[in-house]
Amino acid sequence: MESTRDIETDGWARFRFGTMALVGLPNAGKSTLMNTLVGEKVAIVTPRPQTTRNRITGILTGDHFQVVFLDTPGINRAGGRMNDLLNRAAMEGLMSADVVILLVDASRYAGRPGLLHKELALIRDRIGNFSSVLIAANKVDRIRDKKNMLPVMEELAGLFPEREIMPVSALTGEGCPFLLDRAVNLLPWGEALYPEDQISTLPMRFMVAEVVREKLFMHTRQEVPYGLAVEIESWDEEENLIRIGALVYVLKNTHKSIVIGKKGRILKEVGIEARKEIESLTGKKVFLETWVKVRPGWTENQGILSSLGLG
């Protein structure tokens, strides 16, 4: 296959442009991979499933290509309106992409024969009609005995025949340059649409809400994150200062107590960590104020879901 570098036709350099959808089950490492490939933190990353709720875009520009990554929510079988919207966002990203990279958490299936086929059959059916699909067996850094990788690769080959399968670690970067090179070669010829220093199409307010949500996810218990959301209520920007008001939705009063913490400790720590990252994003001093509001059933409320960019 021809390389993406130093391509010329009749004396003119040729350029590739297109979109790549990163798809997979929840917690497969899609956001980590996008951040690694882009070289900057574009999407929030936590150990919690369903951290990504919106279709996040990252942009990478090379000498002879520009790719727009679509980091999609994890495809899942759970019910409920929010999960339906997450699956819809994932499928929309899939349908609009020139290239699909399916991420599989290889560490989850090492030493567990049959589980991979059971869990990935749904995704196999959904990507079956796409011609440009690559399979990334992710998290190989977690597999101590590399002999355990061979059965996983064989099972993937049986489930996705005629698809190229590459072992990678989105966390350490192992195998990622090769994966990127193979994926870029599948892009159509075109012209760059974005400045070479632009790394995302996300509005800054959305990115700020995501930063706050990431810090809350990392500080709260297992049962809280799914029922937690952040909405930017106010944004007052001055020359060297941004005053931001963030509203945190939770499902239950007990969740509110957990998010706030004893004597407000957790919310204070979240605010400090988020403020530092937001200042790095915006290049300005930030005054961040957060409130917590109990909204029972918000995950089924179309109005709130729409205000959060879902659906």
User: 82 pLDDT exceeds 80?
Assistant: no
pLDDT at 84: 73
Q: Strand 164-167 vs strand 229-237: parallel, antiparallel, or unpaired? A: unpaired
pLDDT in tens, 50-68: 677 677 889 999 999 999 9
Query: 206-216 b/e with 16+ CB inside 10 Å = b?
Result: ebbbbbbbbbb
The Cα–Cα gap between 295 and 248 comes to 10
pLDDT, tens digit (0-9, with 9 covering 90-100), for 92-122: 767 778 999 999 999 999 989 889 989 898 7
* Eight-state DSSP code of residue 265: H
Q: Percentage of the chain surpassing pLDDT 90?
A: 61
The model's pLDDT over 35-47, given as tens digits with 9 standing for 90+, comes to 999 999 998 787 7
Superfamily of the domain at 204-307: K homology (KH) domain (3.30.300.20)
CA of residue 210 relative to chain centroid, distance = 11
Per-residue pLDDT of 230-264, as tens digits, reads: 999 999 999 899 999 999 999 999 999 999 999 99
For 4-34, how does the pLDDT look when each residue is reduced to its tens digit (9 = 90+)? 444 554 444 589 999 999 998 888 999 999 9
- Over residues 142-170, the mean pLDDT reads 93
Name the residue with higher pLDDT: 283 or 82. Answer: 283
**Domain residue spans of the chain:** 8-184, 204-307
pLDDT the model gives residue 50: 67
HSE-CB for 3 with a 13 A CA cutoff: 8
**In the predicted model, what is the mean pLDDT of residues 204-227?**
87
> Hunting for tokens 């509110």 — which residue is that?
256
Is it true that domain 8-184 has CATH number 3.40.50.300?
yes
Q: Is the pLDDT of residue 148 over 70?
A: yes
Helices (H), the chain: 30-38, 81-95, 106-109, 115-127, 149-159, 176-184, 204-219, 253-260, 265-282, 302-307
